[in-house]
A and B are shown apart, each in its own frame.
Chain A
Amino acid sequence: MTATAETRPEVGTARLRKEDAHLITGRSRFTDNMVLPGMLHLAMVRSPFAHARITAIDVSAAKASPGVFAVLTGADVAGEQGSLPNAWPITPDQKAPAHPAIAVDEVAFAGEVVAVVIARSVAAARDAVELVDVDYEELPVVMDLEEAATDKVLAHTSLESNKSATWVFDSGEAGTGTAIADALANSDVVVERTLYQQRLIPAFMEPRSIVVDPTGQQITMWSATQIPHILRLMLALTLGIPESKLRVVAPDVGGGFGGKLQVTPEEVITLLAARRMGKPVKYTETRSESLQAGHHGRAQVQRLKIGATKDGTVTGLHVDLLADMGAYLGLVTSGVPILGAFMYNSIYKFPSYHFECHNIFTNKAWTDAYRGAGRPEATFAIERMMDELAVELNMDPLELREKNWIKHDEFPFATVAGLEYDTGNYEAATAKAVELFGYEELRAEQKRRRDAKEKVQLGIGVSTFTEMCGLAPSRVLGSLSYGAGGWEHAQVRVLPTGNVEVVTGSSAHGQGHETAWSQLVADRLGVPFENVEVLHGDTQVSQRGLDTYGSRSLSVGGMAVLAAADKVIEKAKVIAAHLMEASEDDLEFTNGSFTVKGTDQSTALGEIALAVFAAHNLPDGVEPNLDSEATFDPVNFSFPHGTHLAAMEVDTETGEVNVLKYVCVDDVGVVVNPMLVEGQVHGGLAQGIAQALYEEAVYDDAGTLVTGSFVDYLVPSAPDLPHYITDRTETRATSNQLGAKGVGEAGTIASTPAIVNGILDAVRHLGVKDIKMPCTPSRVWHALQEAETTGGVQ
């Protein structure tokens, strides 16, 4: 098959998104818009305490409240609710508490559901929530991760320790490198730091919402989820419902960022309630519930040691992590830090690497995937450490990086963490970024402000990154004890009118799959972009799939679409040959038509489709359809990379930080739609910058979420973010035919260390060595004060 980009240039075109018209005008089908006949509504009774024993629940007043049909407690559903799934037990001896959707006798974080009210209206349900009388016996809480690791206070009375599991990778043992102890011992310098990854909240725009209709032959669940297929399987396994009796639909979904990559208590509860009532039931969370009880992300303490020789050659990295699981293990909670394990070495060649991660329970909402999942944490750590090392060695941070990164002619490169990077060109991306940024001029300006002791200082933040995405080779996931594979499935159908239906298992929730897949198929089948319809997100329409996360959709799901399109061409060719009474070998397929080579005899795909439908004249043994399906399972991850540079102004009077200039040059492989890529980069940068400057989920000592609304959980909006200068370089991924690498997480991963490195670069000469994220004005100012009173360094 020939690449058709030359003949029909859909791939590479900045097509406007075909899904936007209905999303922007509000003619959308979000779950909460669903209204079914006789539908009832749910409201949750949630624990105000972070750790308590439930001693009694009196639901009589709530039950008697007008419009209330039923109130269910954990005890009422104990026999049927099962335990919510953790699909990634990272070690055979991983410990985890039972995780009932409705707590039965103990709650382990504030916000945990203890009862559910089922009523005629949302208002009636909410009123009755106030009437449910729960007696709690408070238990000691453990909120701080480092304290939890000491086991002085236990997050669950059912566990003997807060430790869930310890996972180790050692390059010496794995044979991918040398022993870390020797490497560090033989280094000229060893820099040791402890860095903190604050807890973040995914804060997707559409709160989670679920409608379950138990009437009819099957139970149908509409859910604002990223993972309809995984959800269906997990609900079947958790609740013992035959999978064939469950249909899950993810209609329009308003963002997820990993936050909707979950099998939630609310989904289980809504299903159980609907089944009990025999009527459709809806639950839509409030924003406060979303912040409190949706899963959180990051939350790690990173204890790091990096060694180097005097000339700046890195000798090895030792990573010792504490990872905050929160109170429970959600779908992939325990695996998130492990995804980072392969990325601490980033783009560098150093020969020795040790990683260990201790997964710890606390009395907070559980953590799980959040944009980048493990990889932003890793990139932050290594990029901060490279800067620390540069300071120690008195080297320019870019020069230090260049000395250590894999050169473009050294690919494919087997890394110390055991991956094989297929392609990349760090020199090219960095050179372009440096030029766009005006690196030398900004360094000169920085020096001028320092010399003049100006109140607003300037710093330059460097972040070079790579990530593994396109999750992923099923075999590799299996070797990491992940409970599923990483393939993706697609169907392509040419309808009698010549229109094309594409069914993808990778269900979009804002990314623009409808547009990108249409572009891919338009090129491959030679049909107009407008004639391609992309269907997804309903297990009855898209029967197989592994959904959308980990920047996998294009490089895995897109490939399945292309493979299915190719199968359609193969099938059509047999029919075309028959219809034109020619030999298949004499046919060529271009621009949507089969032509008999060297003649003007041709037939278009649409004509073949109509002939197939009529089935009057088909070759023997050919079924009357132009349908196909295909599954793609990549042989390797893909490895996008890039260089991000941030010029940061720090007002030393107020501690306020301002991003003066932000340049990023990303290599995401071959680009299908530059506008979609740009959008992903912008959004990703916003979330990464938000971690550096704005967002943090804060609990008080008693276990209450202080940042329980958007008044306190500061999500930046457009005026808070800089103008981005974005550009690209391109090396093709070899793990998929298209050469695409993935872009969903790049901006988030790279920007956080760029910003923090920039802030520190601005104030390091004043004696500031570190500032915890988010780098709020108050923290920056306090760091400056402390540096001044301790004399600082000069």
Chain B
Amino acid sequence: MIPSAFDYAAPATVEEALGLLSKAAADGNDVKVLAGGQSLIPVMKLRMADPSLVVDLGRIGGLSGVTDNGNSLVIGAMTPHHVMATDPLVAQHLPLLQQAAATVADPQVRHRGTFGGALVHADPAGDMPAPVLATGATFVLAGPGGERRVDAADFFQGYFTTAVEEGEILTSIEVPKYTGWGSHYEKFTRVAQQWSIVAVAALVRVEGGGIAEARIGLTNMASTPLRATGVEAALAGAPLTVEAITAACSHAGEGTEPASDLNGDAGYRKHLAQVLATRAVLAAVGL
């Protein structure tokens, strides 16, 4: 289908982009930021969104790429999924993100769709938010009042809603390194190229034959990505046995409010969360 008519701007700098956003807001115009367009364009084509102005971030230099920042990696918002899935720094320090990015859609979508776009879009079934939440990353936002940093725990606020305010742009995400941690993203779908029905992101630190610490993210178990805090608590100090891990992961459905749809009802999703959490943690620790 064809979107409604809209104006298009491709600014060269973040400042210029912010200027366009605030001007549009002042004029009472509906404006949308365009990253990879893999979510925005379909919605516009279906005429479920009809912004009068689209501000394309694609020409702004410095918004894409991964840099080493000591204890963390700084990932540009415009970094495509494909880069996330193949970048050596990500592979070394954040294999969880690498693995999750590789499960997104197909090669075409992964080359256009971006890390930042997926996070701001905040689809409950999207594959990047839960792993990023598990890492405890920090989101860097540029806005009319300057730069703002938001913790991952505060970033995802609701169904397709994040801490990014009107007039703001996500410029980068600082993700702490988890070098040496075990990790695994366990995604459950009905067909190969599909959004997650449920998925579990696991980061596990093993020390002295037991689990020292675990950070577990849940995809599509509520209107936002969730941390499975019950599982995390139960895993801390648990021995490296299938039984202990299975028992700890039986908490995965706690505090979740998954939707019911054609792929499964809420009860099934809660059950899946436990099974997938178990599988994710077992894979993360190599059992």
Are A and B associated in one complex?
A: yes
A122 touches B275 (CB 8 A): no
Answer yes or no: B287 CB below 8 A from chain A CBs.
Answer: no
Q: Which chain A positions have C-beta within 8 A of B159?
A: none
Candidates A656, A712, A719; contact of B262 at CB < 8 Å: A712
- Complex contacts, B271 vs chain A, CB 8 Å: 781
**Neighbouring A residues of B26 by C-beta, 8 Å:** none
Of B46, B193, B264, B272, which is within 8 A of A288 by CB?
A: B46
A711 to B195: give the CA distance in the assembly, Å. Answer: 9
Bound-state CA distance A720–B193 (Å) is 9
Q: A73 near B: Cβ within 8 Å?
A: no
Task: Across the interface, name the chain B residue whose C-beta is closest to A655.
Answer: B268
**Are the CB atoms of B191 and A778 closer together than 8 Å?**
no
Binary contact readout B39-55 vs A (1 if CB under 8 angstroms, 0 otherwise): 00000001100000000
Determine the distance from Cα of A433 to Cα of B41 in the docked complex, in whole angstroms: 49
B1 touches which of A288, A656, A712, A778 (Cβ 8 Å): A288
Q: Which of A122, A655, A716 contacts B191 (CB 8 A)?
A: A716
**Across-interface contacts of A130 in B (CB, < 8 A):** 4, 47
* Bound Cα distance from A127 to B6, whole angstroms: 12
Residues of A within 8 A of B264 (CB): 776-778
The A-contacting residues of B in range 38-87, CB under 8 angstroms, are 46-47
Q: In this complex, which of A288, A694, A696, A778 has the most chain B Cβ atoms within 10 angstroms of its Cβ?
A: A778
Task: Name the distance in Å between A456's Cβ and chain B's nearest Cβ.
Answer: 12
B194 contacts which chain A residues (CB < 8 A)?
714
Nearest A residue to B106, CB-CB = A717
Quick one: closest B residue to A711, CB to CB?
B195
- Most chain B CB atoms below 10 A, which of A698, A712, A781: A781
Interface string of B190-225 (1 = CB under 8 A from A): 111111010000000000000000000000000000
Chain A interface, DSSP helix/strand/loop, else mixed:
loop
A707 with B262: in contact, given A127-B5, A654-B188, A717-B193 (CB under 8 Å)? yes
In the complex, A142→B191 CA distance in Å? 31
Q: How large is the interface on A (under 10, 10 to 19, 20 to 34, 35 or more residues)?
A: 20 to 34
Given contacts A123-B2, A126-B2, contact A777 B190 (CB under 8 A): yes
A194 within 8 A of B: no
CA distance A465 to B166 in the complex (A): 62
**Distance in Å from the Cβ of A205 to the closest Cβ of chain B?**
16
Q: In the assembled complex, how far is the CB of residue B246 from the closest CB belonging to chain A, in whole angstroms?
A: 11
Q: Counting CB contacts under 8 A, is A60 at the interface?
A: no
Determine whether B254 belongs to the interface, using a CB cutoff of 8 Å to chain A. Answer: no
For the complex, what is the distance from the CA of A717 to the CA of B191, rounded to whole Å? Answer: 8
Q: Residues of A contacting B195 with CB < 8 Å?
A: 711
Identify B272's interface contact among A127, A654, A707, A711, CB under 8 A: A654
**Chain A 447-468 against B: per-residue CB contact (8 Å), 1 yes, 0 no?**
0000000000000000000000
For residue A159, CB closer than 8 A to chain B, the reply is no
Q: Contact between A717 and B188 (Cβ–Cβ < 8 Å)? A: no
Q: Which residues of B contact A781 (CB under 8 A)?
A: 268, 271
Residues in B neighbouring A714, C-beta threshold 8 A: 190-191, 194
- Contact between chains at A706 and B191 (CB < 8 Å): no
Q: Is A571 an interface residue (CB 8 A)?
A: no
Q: Contact: B263 with A654, CB < 8 Å?
A: no
Chain B contacts for A716, CB-based, 8 A: 191
CB pair A719 B265 closer than 8 Å: no
Complex contact B262–A653 (CB within 8 A): no
Interface string of B246-271 (1 = CB under 8 A from A): 00000000000000001111001001
* Contact in complex: A717, B2 (CB < 8 Å): no
Tell me the smallest distance from the CB of A265 to a CB of chain B, in Å. Answer: 19
Q: Measured between C-beta atoms, what is the minimum distance from A681 to chain B in Å?
A: 21
* Inter-subunit contact B1/A126 (CB<8 Å): yes
Q: How far does the alpha carbon of A777 sit from the alpha carbon of B275 in the complex, in Å?
A: 13
A717–B193 Cα gap in the complex (Å)? 8
Contacting residues, chain A, for B272 (C-beta < 8 A): 654
Counting CB contacts under 8 A, is A601 at the interface? no
Q: Is the CB of B191 within 8 A of A694?
A: yes
Does A782 reach chain B (CB closer than 8 Å)?
A: yes
Complexed CA–CA distance, A126 and B263 (Å):
32
* Contact residues, A638-658 vs B (CB, 8 A): 653-656
Those of B1-58 within 8 Å (CB) of chain A: 1-2, 4-5, 46-47
| Chain A residue with the shortest CB-CB distance to B271 | A781
Within 8 A of B (CB), among A596-632: none
Selected from B4, B197, B268, the residue in CB contact (under 8 A) with A127 is: B4
Chain B interface residue count, CB cutoff 8 Å, equals 22
Q: Mark A702-715, 1 if CB is under 8 A from B, else 0.
A: 00001100011011
A793–B268 alpha-carbon span in the complex (Å)? 23
Which chain B residues lie closer than 8 Å to A696 at the CB level?
Answer: 262
Residues of B close to A712: CB separation below 8 A: 262
Per-position 1/0 for B267-287, Cβ under 8 A of A: 010011001000000000000
CA distance A711 to B264 in the complex (A): 15
Chain A residues with Cβ under 8 A from B5's Cβ?
A: 123, 127
> Which of A123, A654, A716 counts the most B-chain CB atoms under 10 A from its CB?
A654
**Residues 655-684 (chain A) with a chain B CB within 8 angstroms:** 655-656
A286 at the interface (CB under 8 A from B): yes
Q: Which residues of chain A come closer than 8 Å to B192, judged between CB atoms?
A: 717, 719-720
One digit per residue, 1 when the CB lies within 8 angstroms of any chain B CB and 0 when it does not, for chain A 108-134 equals: 000000000000001100110010000
> Hey, which chain A residues are within 8 Å of B191, CB to CB?
694, 714-717, 720
Chain B contacts for A122, CB-based, 8 A: 2
User: Do B1 and A286 touch across chains, with their CB atoms under 8 A apart?
Assistant: yes
Complex CA–CA separation, A776 to B191 (angstroms)? 10
Do residues A778 and B263 form an inter-chain contact, with CB atoms below 8 A?
yes
Q: State the CA gap A719–B189 with chains docked (Å).
A: 12
- In the bound assembly, the distance between CA atoms of A122 and B2 in angstroms comes to 8
Residues A715-731 near B (CB distance < 8 A): 715-717, 719-720
Given A778-B268, A782-B268, A706 and B1 touching (CB < 8 A)?
Answer: no
With a cutoff of 8 Å between Cβ atoms, the chain A residues found around residue B193 in the complex are 717, 719
Least CB distance from A454 to B in Å reads 15
A653 vs B275: C-alpha distance in the bound complex, in angstroms?
Answer: 7
Query: What residue of chain A has the Cβ atom nearest to residue B265's Cβ?
Result: A778
B47 A694 Cβ-Cβ under 8 A: no
Which of B4, B262, B265, B268 is the one whose CB lies under 8 Å from A706? Answer: B262
**CB within 8 A of B263: which of A123, A127, A776, A782?**
A776
User: With the chains together, A655 CA to B192 CA distance in Å?
Assistant: 16
Chain A residue with minimal CB distance to B269? A778
Residues of chain A within 8 A of B4, CB atoms compared: 127, 130
Docked CA distance A487–B248 (Å): 69
Looking at B190, B264, B275, which has the most chain A CB atoms within 10 Å of its CB?
B190
Shortest C-beta distance, A360 to chain B (Å), equals 24
**CB closest chain-A residue, reference B198:** A654
Closest Cβ of chain A to B126, distance in Å, is 13
Q: How far is the CA of A127 from the CA of B2 in the complex (A)?
A: 9
Closest to B1 in A: A286
Which of B47, B262, B265 is the one whose CB lies under 8 Å from A698?
B262
A455's nearest neighbour on chain B, judged by CB, is: B275
Q: Is the CB of B275 within 8 A of A654?
A: yes
Which of B191, B194, B265 lies at the interface centre, i.e. has the most chain A CB atoms within 10 A of its CB?
B191
In the complex, chain A residues 328-354 whose Cβ is within 8 Å of any chain B Cβ: none
How far is A706 from B262 in the complex, measured between Cα atoms in Å? 9
| A712 CA to B268 CA, complexed, in Å | 18
* B1 partner residues in chain A, CB cutoff 8 A: 126, 286, 288
Q: CA separation between A706 and B263, bound complex, in Å?
A: 12
B195 CB to closest chain A CB (Å) equals 8
CA–CA, A324 and B2, complex, Å:
33
Output the nearest chain B residue to A709 by Cβ-Cβ distance. Answer: B46
* CB<8 Å pairs between A and B, sample of 17: A123-B5, A126-B1, A126-B2, A127-B5, A130-B4, A288-B46, A694-B191, A698-B262, A706-B262, A714-B191, A717-B191, A719-B192, A719-B193, A720-B192, A776-B263, A778-B263, A781-B268
14 extra interface residue pairs, beta carbon distance < 8 Å, beyond A122-B2, A126-B1, A781-B271: A288-B1, A654-B272, A654-B275, A696-B262, A706-B262, A711-B195, A717-B192, A719-B193, A776-B262, A776-B264, A777-B188, A777-B190, A777-B197, A778-B264
The 4 closest A-B pairs by CB, nearest first: A778-B264, A719-B192, A778-B268, A286-B1
